[in-house]
Amino acid sequence: MLTLKHRTLRFVILTLLGCGYFSGISHLEVNEFLKSEVALIPIQLVVAIYITYLHWSRHGDSAELDN
């Protein structure tokens, strides 16, 4: 029986969601510029959340060192 590790399973799920999202975006009948902007919104959101997480996790670590 095939055993998937958590990392592989997450990768497969995110890949399928990404393919489905971009496939859905490609079938929209809107201006090409708007289509490209809508396609990049999830990537921009993920990067913004990741950078915010890194900032707050470093901020929390430096606060612990001060005590």
Mean pLDDT in consecutive groups of 10 residues from the start of the chain, 67 residues: 75 90 87 85 89 84 53
Number of residues in the chain: 67
Count CB neighbours of 59 within 10 A.
9
| Alpha-carbon gap, residue 32 to 4, rounded angstroms | 39
Q: Looking at residue 48, what is its pLDDT? A: 93
| CA atoms of 63 and 57, how far apart (whole Å) | 10
Phi and psi angles of residue 58, each rounded to the nearest 5 degrees, phi first:
-70, -35
pLDDT for 38 equals: 85
Nearest to 34 by CA among 45, 25, 22: 25
Contact indicator for 25, 41 with CB cutoff of 8 Å: no
